[in-house]
A = this chain, B = another copy of it.
Amino acid sequence: MPNQGKTKRVPPAMSKKQGQKQDTKRAKPQAASKANGAAVDYDLLQTLLGYALRRSQLAVFQHFAQSMSARASDDRVSPGEFGVLVLVEANPGINQTSLANAVGADRSTMVPIIDRLEKRGLLERQAMPGDRRAHALRLAKSGKERMQRFRATVIEHEAKIGGDLSAAERAVLLDLLRRLRRASETA
């Protein structure tokens, strides 16, 4: 769920403070009514790995955001940011291009992400010994401490989303996802 509770078409002469419920007259269609009585037939979609994957992934990322929303708004990370932090922590001194390759993104995509994390004091760009073009990335001091809490939050989130699965099922799912990915990247 990208884009949750940010500013949008601010009502004339009043911007909204997030979390401060304003009394709109609009009701939320929380119960997903069909409006046409009958249940929707999903037909082919029911059988597609791609569709199931997309819906699950969306739900999981929403849950991730919800788990983070318990923290102060300046002390949250997105799934992508968390991934970068984990990799930098586990591979201190890694450069931006390696990082981009590792997460499957373009070099240019990493720049604003790292900018943001650096500005927030979570990680640092240092001089790379032996190559003055590159930046060696490492967690900042305060980043190491904060990462402990991010990790804890993410691990708890993972436990909840996988709560229905046994440890064995979880392992199977991880394996099947990897094989699916590999086949998709190859074929």
Residues of A within 8 A of B (CB): 29, 32-36, 38, 40-45, 47-64, 79, 83, 86-87, 89-91, 93-95, 97-98, 101-102, 104, 134, 151, 154, 157-158, 160-165, 169-170, 172-174, 176-185, 187
SS class, residues of chain A in contact with chain B: helix
A56-B180, A180-B173 known; A48 and B98 CB under 8 Å? Answer: no
Are B44's CB and A50's CB within 8 A?
no
- A51 B83 Cβ-Cβ under 8 A: yes
Q: Which residues of B contact A44 (CB under 8 A)?
A: 86, 90, 151, 154
Identify which of B40, B177, B178 contacts A94 (C-beta below 8 A): B40
| 21 A-B pairs with C-beta separation under 8 A | A33-B101, A38-B91, A40-B101, A44-B154, A45-B87, A48-B158, A49-B158, A49-B170, A49-B173, A50-B61, A50-B64, A54-B57, A55-B104, A55-B177, A55-B181, A59-B185, A60-B180, A63-B185, A164-B183, A173-B176, A173-B180
Report B-chain residues with C-beta under 8 Å of the C-beta of A184.
Answer: 56, 59-60, 62-63, 160-161
CB-CB under 8 A from A97, the residues of chain B are 29, 35
Number of copies: 2
Give bound CA distance, A174 to B53, whole Å: 8
- A36 adjacent to B94 (CB under 8 Å): yes
CB neighbours of A61 from chain B (8 A): 50, 54
Report the separation of the CA atoms of residues A151 and B47 in the bound assembly, to the nearest whole angstrom: 12
What residues of chain B lie closer than 8 Å to A52, measured between beta carbons? 173-174, 177-178, 181
